Structure 1
Amino acid sequence: MEGTYYKEWSAVLDRAMEFKVYGHGGVPVLALPARGGRFYDWENNGMPEAVARLLHEGKMQLFCADSIDAESLLAGHETPRRRAEMQEKYFVYLTAELAPRIAALNAPEAKKPPLIWCAGVDTGAYQAVQCRLRRPGVFAGAVGLSGLYDMSRFLGGCEDDLVLRSSPLAALRKNGICNKNLLAKAEDNTLLLCVGQGGYEGDALADTQALADTLKETGLPCHLEVWGGDVSHDWYWWGKEFGMFAERLFG
């Protein structure tokens, strides 16, 4: 599917960042790649085709972002604090730089910027959920597919305040107590989580269930679907899941 390519400077990351846009109007959806992924992974794996009808009919517009995982979550040569700092910079890029750009491209004449949805797979699901939970005034909701939400595997323990902010499970239940004050503006939170029980879904299944349980305990609404044992951790299934959820939300 044809998209429009952009490469624009990010002040917070001090580099040019790439993204690609599909569709001509409708609800803007920020799409985040799997760990270590690139903005073109969604196109290369058929995700725009999974929602082709919605894109062609102007019911949704897809904005596929790049990642900096090699310098943040996956930077094993760096200290946990340094990895958390880079993750926070990426979060600021998504929410304070890319989000306004998405709004401007999606509805240039609007007096009030549209609320954006976000969707992600694997660690991209974590990024999407973070955007919704921490910036509910910017993001209307999030779709997390096969997400990894326990950031201790990437950032270490949450004794550090910055690491804590970067880990939704830890932030929601600091010291075992649900910390709803962190989400004071998200009582009407819209989160849709999906995971399979097939190949390589073990960590994602555990993390997704833990997040859904924690959100429920916190009093924040969340829709969870656990698919069958044939549903594995790969783009084939993510395309089916995303297509189904997008039809429900925007169709």
Structure 2
Amino acid sequence: MQEDYRKFYSHHLGRDIEMLVYGNWGYPIVLFPTSMGHYYEYKDFGLTDTARWFVESGKVKLYCIDSVDRDSWYAKHLHPGTRIWNHVLYDRFLHEELVPSIQRECNVQKIGVSGASFGGYHALNFAFRHPEQVGHLLTMGAAFDIRSFLGGYYDENVYFNNPPDYLPNDPNKELHHMNIVLGTSEYDFCKDSNIKISGILNHKGIRHQLDITPWGNHDWPVWKDQFPRYLSKI
């Protein structure tokens, strides 16, 4: 596969965000890393290789990007209000800087987002906050309630970045036009979180697929099986 290393400077974050981009053309998929993971994580664990056929045939183009988890959700040395604000800046980087650039580069109105474990939280939260920018959401082994990271701290920014809180009250009709796949497995400790989000989506009449793989747990072999299957639904 063609692999390109890039740096994207974010004015919101005041830093470069590194990424690996796979493919020359195709429908763009942004891949968020797992907890405190880096842009090369999916390459190192072989997940990008499971998408080789889709990339080399021009079906998809993968953007494996960095997170700022070490300055937000996992930055225990910072006040919770500062941590959630750093995530808000990351969301603004995605919404106002990176995703518009990808839309122009690939000549698409909407992109796809995906991720495993905590990367799945990032993908789902961005998709549900900005459904006008996302046409496909593919998560694997994710949990979606982030209140446990904040030690009881709660404000408006927490509410609007905690999908179990804001999703039931979200009236955005674009949510009904998104291809949503929630992937988990029988022994995944995040399975109940996926079942809860699926229940909220069912209550709102939003079409989606809850895929519970009947083997495995919260680990890479399951996600490497799921990712190409979910790409085939695009």
TM-score (norm 1): 0.88
Match of 1:194 in 2: 183
Match of 1:160 in 2: 155
Question: RMSD of the TM alignment (CA)?
Answer: 1.6
User: Partners in 2 of 1:104 and 1:163 — Cα distance?
Assistant: 31
Match of 1:237 in 2: 222
The Cα of 1:167 is off from its aligned counterpart by: 0.3
Q: Which one-letter code corresponds to 1:154 in the other structure?
A: F
User: Partners in 1 of 2:61 and 2:148 — Cα distance?
Assistant: 33
- Does the aligned pair in 1 maintain the 2:80–2:153 contact within 8 Å? no
Match of 1:216 in 2: 202
Match of 2:169 in 1: 179
- Does the aligned pair in 2 maintain the 1:63–1:102 contact within 8 Å? no
Q: Which one-letter code corresponds to 1:168 in the other structure?
A: P
The Cα of 1:127 is off from its aligned counterpart by: 0.9
- Does the aligned pair in 2 maintain the 1:136–1:185 contact within 8 Å? yes
Runs of 5+ in structure 2 lacking a partner?
none
The Cα of 1:192 is off from its aligned counterpart by: 0.4
User: Partners in 1 of 2:3 and 2:146 — Cα distance?
Assistant: 32
CA deviation string 1:96-135 (max 9, x = no partner): 211122223334xxxxx43100001111111111121111
User: Partners in 2 of 1:189 and 1:48 — Cα distance?
Assistant: 23
User: Partners in 2 of 1:84 and 1:219 — Cα distance?
Assistant: 30
- Aligned residue for 2:112, secondary structure, equals strand
- Does the aligned pair in 2 maintain the 1:158–1:170 contact within 8 Å? no
Q: 1:156 to 1:91 in 2, by over 3 A?
A: farther
1:131 to 113, 126, 130: 126
1:149 to 119, 126, 144: 144
User: Partners in 2 of 1:155 and 1:62 — Cα distance?
Assistant: 32
Runs of 5+ in structure 1 lacking a partner?
108-112, 173-177
- Aligned residue for 2:88, secondary structure, equals helix
Q: Which one-letter code corresponds to 1:131 in the other structure?
A: F
Structure 2 residue 105 is the aligned partner of structure 1 residue 105? yes
User: Partners in 2 of 1:122 and 1:55 — Cα distance?
Assistant: 23
- Does the aligned pair in 1 maintain the 2:2–2:24 contact within 8 Å? no
User: Partners in 1 of 2:175 and 2:147 — Cα distance?
Assistant: 24
Match of 1:121 in 2: 116
User: Partners in 2 of 1:2 and 1:23 — Cα distance?
Assistant: 5
User: Partners in 2 of 1:157 and 1:185 — Cα distance?
Assistant: 32
- Does the aligned pair in 2 maintain the 1:34–1:124 contact within 8 Å? yes
CA deviation string 1:43-101 (max 9, x = no partner): 11112210111111101100001011011111112222111111111111122211122
